[in-house]
Chain A
Amino acid sequence: MLTGDAARRQARAADAAARVIRAERSRILATLIRVTGDVELAEDATQDAIVRALRTWPRDGVPDNPRGWLLVVARRRAVDVIRREVRRVGKEAEAVALLDPAPDSPEAVRDDLLRLVFTCCHPALSLDAQVALALRTLGGLATGEVARALVVPEATMTKRLTRAKQKITRAGIPYRIPAAEELPGRLAGVAATVYLIFNEGYAAGAGDDLIRVGLADEGLRLARLLVELMPDEPTVLGLLALVLLQDSRRAARVGVDGRPLLLAEQDRSRWDRAAIGAGVELVGRGLRRTPDHPDRYVVQAAIAACHALAPSYDRTPWDAVISWYDVLLTVHDTAVVRLNRAAAVAERDGPAAGLALVDTLVGLADYPWFHATRGELLHRLGRAAEAATAYRAALALDLNGPQAARLRDRLAEC
């Protein structure tokens, strides 16, 4: 039996091992997919190596080169599986190629991870499949964890992941970093997937839905990974900036009663200054790299930075916010962006000016925040009956519990 000290030491060693494994898992997997050309086999081999590491590292300590250790074990496992296959179908060459210890330079590891990023976020996969694959392979979540985070039954998620991997193999989705001319378009797809993951968690709020909130951390982690892999790409810099700036408000977003608080109501002393500083710095880096053609994420992050740096809601630089929205409209003209711009105009020029803009928008009938914004502006204009109708229209649409509770409060004030 272990003494207390020994047990504690072993628990610490197990923690350390788990941390290292978490950090290395996606890299090992990415390399294994390249050398085996088979996602399923690579996952099995990686999992096998991890199981062995979890068994031996807490006892013997984490090896000096954990990645090398895991890679050797995973490769050996893959070779075993392929050798068995060889006897069946004669794939001699594949097993031989695997035995050849490919150079494990930092560049090679980075390129493998990039291949994995672009394969998981390939436009031939549905957005649902992209999100699931990114969480599973890049985030290293177990299938059950992915299912719970996305509020999908585990069997459904298993099927979704199997289908996605099958499509990659069968349809010949390449395991490749896109060429320079395709890169901007493909990066926009990657950024959209990562932002969706972050937002799934962020929008879920806090408190009653902690598993979903974990998605915000996953989104943040993936955005950091993208910056690590592509430190000069403005889209990636803008994405991480945007995510950091939004996440900086996490502690202040929810009131004591669990209700979400608007920007105007938040206690700004609880905003995460370190995250804001990092976000603002990234906005600057992104802007310097896009002097001619603004990047959507960098501009969205610039808007978030205007809010993050304002000492109080009353002192928000609305002129700057509105100007950034005008820039955003030149590269990303959507009704939702126009709605947000109208809300900023309402703050600067009054509710009537904002409402006039909101009422020109079409195609937002199913978007609850369109009705909620109209309700708010009508309420400020003293048009109580119309405001109530607008709040009811918002409440009839898909909102999470705390958001709906908030709107019901507003409705009661009409």
Chain B
Amino acid sequence: MPTYIALTYTADVDWSSPEQADEMAEYREFGAAARAVIRGGSALYPTATATTVRVTGGRGGDVLTTDGPYAETKEALTGFYLLECADLDEAVATVAQLPAAWNGAVEVRPIIPV
């Protein structure tokens, strides 16, 4: 069965703050409901905590770090799930239950099996 990563793009919120407790509860509900297909995942701290790393001039070159996410967008990558589903239809039906799907968007990508 293919495995998908579901990337949630939402407002750049701090999931660890009490203000997000209600929404976090919704995600926990999703987690319980979709337990059969969830293989992993996490909420992420806000993009203010992100560091973007580049190495210039090829392997072993200078490590260049910049503060912030790779791309500044209105909606930010705020979490991810690994889902093992029968096919894309099941994956789409599953992520359609994520609050991020109506508060933002969810990108579904198949992962390359090893």
Q: How far is the CA of A171 from the CA of B109 in the complex (A)?
A: 7
- Interface 1/0s, chain A 162-202, versus B by CB < 8 A? 00000000111110100000000000000000000000000
Q: Is the interface of B mostly helix, strand, loop or mixed?
A: mixed
New A-B pairs, 10, CB < 8 Å, besides A124-B88, A173-B89, A174-B87: A124-B92, A172-B4, A172-B85, A172-B86, A172-B88, A172-B91, A172-B110, A173-B87, A173-B88, A174-B89
B2 on the interface (CB 8 Å rule)? yes
Structural contact, A170 and B110, CB atoms closer than 8 A: yes
Contacts of A174 in B (CB 8 A): 86-89
Report the minimum CB–CB distance from A362 to chain B (whole Å).
Answer: 25
- Interface 1/0s, chain A 181-225, versus B by CB < 8 A? 000000000000000000000000000000000000000000000
Q: Is the interface of A mostly helix, strand, loop or mixed?
A: loop
Report the minimum CB–CB distance from A31 to chain B (whole Å).
Answer: 19
Interface size class of B (residues with CB under 8 A): 10 to 19
Contacts of A170 in B (CB 8 A): 110
Contacts of A176 in B (CB 8 A): 87, 89
A-B contact pairs, 9 of them (CB 8 A): A170-B110, A171-B108, A171-B109, A172-B4, A172-B88, A172-B91, A174-B86, A174-B88, A176-B89
Chain A, residue nearest B89 (CB) = A174
Chain B, residue nearest A173 (CB) = B88
Contacts of B108 in A (CB 8 A): 171
Q: Which of B4, B89, B91 has the most CB of A within 10 A?
A: B89
Report the minimum CB–CB distance from A171 to chain B (whole Å).
Answer: 5
Q: Which of B1-38 contact A (CB under 8 A)?
A: 2, 4
Q: Which of A129-186 contact B (CB under 8 A)?
A: 170-174, 176
Report the minimum CB–CB distance from A125 to chain B (whole Å).
Answer: 10
Contacts of B87 in A (CB 8 A): 172-174, 176
Q: How far is the CA of A122 from the CA of B91 in the complex (A)?
A: 14
Contacts of A172 in B (CB 8 A): 2, 4, 85-88, 91, 110
Report the minimum CB–CB distance from B76 to chain A (whole Å).
Answer: 24
Structural contact, B110 and A171, CB atoms closer than 8 A: yes
